[in-house]
Amino acid sequence: MHFMFMDQTHKHYIDFEEVIEGGRAVIYKRADHKRPRYTARIQLQNITAIVRSTRTFDVSDARSFAKDLYYELESKRRNGEQLRVPLFEKVFHAWAAQRRIKYAGKAYTKDDIRAAELQFIPFFTGTLISKIDVVMVDAFLAQRRVRDNLQPSFATLKQDVRRLKSVLVYAKKMGHIKDVPEIELPQGVINARPDLDGRDYKALHTTLRRDIRAVETHPSHHRDRQYLYYYILILANSGIRTGEAQTLTWASIFDTVTIDGDKRKVLSVVGKTGAREVVCNESVNDHIIRLKDLRIDELKSEPPLSEPIFCHFDGSPIKSFKKSFSAALKRAGVLYDRKGNKRVPYSLRHTYATMRLQQGVSVYTLAMNMGTSVAMIEKYYGKVRMTAPAMATEATKMGSWAKK
């Protein structure tokens, strides 16, 4: 067998070197790259040549890489194992494609894939899927904890592990790996999720009203800040998830009444736990009416029932308030909580949960309205605000017989 894959004088390739005789392992560079790294080409008996980047500029390191790769592949060939193991990114995109089809009706699918792509692709790109082991995953989680000083929560890291396991299970199903590595997330402290306490919520509300007045002569900015205002108020007083808010339409809003006959708005949403009806705090009655009036003024007519309530002028959904939310909280001086945790739009859901518990709402009722479990409520919010008057009253109330 000889090195026959191309003419060594080819203008696109330079610095050829045969590492293992007979052309079984060769390294070279691409001449059309500004700073080319060495590439290794492995030729096995009766197998089409396998080409891999060595990821190095150093010829000595490139030689070692080519030799190791050759003997690794030759061993696999003799044992009947798969030789052409795909890179992580190729497997990831195939995994994402099948999830988009399999879970097309799930509201969280798109966000789940996007979150996985943002975290996994930068770290694992260029890595063979078969090379991902417990050590590499630990390195990934370690850099997640320190990168950009974001310090993701234990729950966030847990979601990373869940998504990565899903990719690796798919890789096994496709025959790319033999086994899924036993990935375990180190136990962490469960911290109360960042919410807005009463003082900070009031400061934010005051800032939002001031911000709206400050741009009254700029129609587009004025609209953006009005929509942000109602977005914050509605989410903080309903507890719906940000993804659920994105798909909320005028057709999915209706009224109910309390046992006292007071009107309450109900939002019919579809989230990661399925469809549910969310009963909002009383203030949402006015917020919905005023938001709708804004849209009627724009259209000079009633908005279509199928239109998202949080929409651009053309009726398309506003996909994210993340940047404007952070900017508003920064102006209000409440972007971070007392422990230094950065508040994000999802903090509005945590704010709702905390305030409802403070006001004595039962954990079971709250869990039903929020589309979560009693265990999750108790896990993240059970230790907060027990000293609030309503909670103290509920925890210590006695019948007349016990007061004697």
Banded model confidence at residue 298, pLDDT cuts 50, 70, 90: very high
Overall average pLDDT of the 278-306 stretch: 96
Overall average pLDDT of the 362-379 stretch: 88
- Mark out the alpha helices in 88-133 (DSSP H runs): 88-102, 109-124
* Rounded Cα–Cα distance for residues 237 and 351 (Å): 9
Lowest average pLDDT, out of 34-43, 209-218, 300-309, goes to: 34-43
Overall CATH class of domain 198-395: mainly alpha
pLDDT tens-digit profile of 336-363? 998 888 899 999 999 999 999 988 898 9
**Sheet strands side by side (includes 39-42):** 13-20, 25-30, 39-42, 50-53
- pLDDT given for residue 38 in this prediction: 93
pLDDT tens-digit profile of 230-266? 999 999 999 999 989 999 999 999 999 999 999 999 9
State percent of the chain over pLDDT 90: 52
- pLDDT given for residue 351 in this prediction: 94
* Rounded Cα–Cα distance for residues 65 and 44 (Å): 16
* Mean pLDDT (the chain, rounded): 86
Higher-scoring residue by pLDDT: 5, 343: 343
pTM score of the predicted model: 0.58
pLDDT at 147 over 80: no
* Rounded Cα–Cα distance for residues 226 and 240 (Å): 19
Banded model confidence at residue 403, pLDDT cuts 50, 70, 90: very low
